[in-house]
């Protein structure tokens, strides 16, 4: 899949604001500061389409980006950048903390074709496992991406990857993509995964 162009469409704070023009959607999910917005920028070849910040909790709205990919069956789709979980100090469940809008989006959105689920390559946060299980229970197609691999030494990679796989319950056959928005490692694999989820293998 080639990215021809990408543009910001809108920031939504409630479901009524979601785009009226319907296109297939891919959502990016993961805890605050894991690198969702950075991954979106590097994937779409844009320096600052999605706002990146050192401070967790930067993305508070559901942001829609329209991507032209020029494929025969999926010429265009939306990339959907969701606010991270794990930011609010008190949290009883993924659903309660994430807020009804995000839970509602993931539960009800007909256009949602799949979720890119991001975890930090250096190790899981305590909510990651529950969040992924929740997405799987919704029967959403997911691809797991480990972010910031540039921060790991080569020698640490295998061991960290194995413990993340085990922690998330990802079988050996299932794909887990190491990613760095700094070196762009993993970009082609993520694009392939999007293509598959959008039904264009």
46 binds ligand GTP (CB under 6 A): no
In angstroms, the CA 6 to CA 72 distance is 18
| Residue from 24, 26, 29, 59 binding ligand GTP (CB under 6 A) | 59
| Residue from 181, 186, 193, 197 binding ligand GTP (CB under 6 A) | 181
| Residue from 33, 41, 42, 59 binding Mg ion (CB under 5 A) | 59
CA angle 42, 46, 51 (to 5 degrees): 85
DSSP state of 129: H
Angstrom distances, CA of residue 180 to CA of 63, 103, 200: 22, 27, 25
In angstroms, the CA 12 to CA 9 distance is 10
User: What does 121 bind: Mg ion, ligand GTP, none (CB cut-off 5 to 8 Å by kind)?
Assistant: none
Mark the segment that binds ligand GTP (CB under 6 A) among 68-76, 137-145, 155-163, 177-185: 177-185
127 binds ligand GTP (CB under 6 A): no
Residues 144-163 that bind ligand GTP (CB under 6 A): 147-148, 150-151
| Residue from 24, 84, 114, 178 binding ligand GTP (CB under 6 A) | 84
User: What does 33 bind: ligand GTP, Mg ion, none (CB cut-off 5 to 8 Å by kind)?
Assistant: ligand GTP
38 binds ligand GTP (CB under 6 A): yes
In angstroms, the CA 97 to CA 196 distance is 30
Spell out the SS3 assignment of 24-38.
CEEEEEEECCCCHHH
| Residue from 33, 37, 146, 181 binding Mg ion (CB under 5 A) | 37
Instruction: Return the bridge partners of 11, or none.
Output: 63
């Amino acid at each position: 899949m080639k990215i021809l162009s990408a543009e910001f469409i809108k920031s939504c704070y409630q479901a009524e604001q979601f785009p009226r023009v319907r296109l297939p959607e891919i959502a990016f999910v993961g805890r605050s500061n894991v690198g969702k917005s950075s991954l979106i920028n590097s994937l779409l070849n844009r320096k600052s389409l999605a706002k990146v910040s050192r401070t967790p909790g930067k993305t508070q709205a559901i942001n829609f980006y329209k991507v032209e990919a020029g494929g025969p069956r999926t010429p265009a789709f939306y990339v959907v950048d969701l606010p991270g979980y794990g930011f609010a100090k008190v949290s009883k469940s993924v659903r309660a903390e994430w807020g009804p809008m995000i839970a509602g989006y993931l539960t009800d959105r007909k256009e949602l074709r799949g979720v890119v689920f991001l975890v930090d390559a250096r190790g899981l946060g305590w909510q990651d496992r529950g969040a992924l299980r929740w997405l799987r229970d919704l029967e959403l197609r997911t691809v797991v991406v480990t972010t910031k691999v540039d921060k790991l030494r080569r020698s640490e990679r295998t061991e960290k990857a194995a413990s993340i796989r085990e922690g998330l319950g990802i079988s050996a056959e299932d794909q887990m993509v190491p990613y760095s928005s700094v070196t762009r490692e993993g970009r082609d694999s993520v694009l392939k995964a999007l293509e598959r989820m959008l039904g264009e293998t």
